Amino acid sequence: METATDLPAEATIEAAALAASTGLLTHSLSNWRDREIAAGIHPHVFVLFAGTYAAMLLVLWLFFGTDVNAAIALGVSTVYFAMYFGVPFVMLRLADEATSKPRPGSFGSFLAGDVETYTGRVSGWGAVAQLLTIPAGLIGAFVAIGIISRLAQ
């Protein structure tokens, strides 16, 4: 009888690939050697990331910007937001364009490929989900808090 340890490494990898679940954030491992590995996070992901934080500020302004004290705090937060996302944007624009960094491919190929992280490979969709889950959840929480606050008045 042949056990998993008697099989060659390739067969073990293939067996694990067949047993792997496939879903939106996971993918089959059968072609993991052939999948494109992104050099980094695609620039559109950073735009989505900044957009979720801008939406978060917009929700806060819409629900709580009518009070003077809250407006002052939101004004300070808006300035911090502009600095937090503006400084890296300006620094990237001022950086030398002659670096050997490859041009990013299409956003679709990024999502279909993998991204190498400190803990290993993750799919492009998985990387986007990891970056946007907390900001999107905070937007939902701020909308709920704003609605409850308006209904309580």
pLDDT in tens, the chain (153 residues): 445 455 555 555 554 444 444 444 455 555 555 566 666 778 888 889 899 999 999 999 999 998 899 999 999 999 999 999 888 888 877 776 656 565 667 888 888 888 887 888 888 888 899 889 999 999 999 999 999 999 998
Q: Helix, strand or coil for residue 31?
A: coil
Can you give the pLDDT at residue 123? 86
State pTM to two decimals: 0.66
Residue 134 is predicted with a pLDDT of 94
pLDDT at 94: 79
SS3 assignment, position 132 = helix
Residues facing 117 on adjacent strands: 120
What the block records as the tokens of 138 is 């905070």
pLDDT value at residue 106: 80
By the 8 A CB rule, do 43 and 106 touch?
no
Determine which helix (DSSP H) or strand (DSSP E) holds 117, and give its type and residue range: strand 114-117
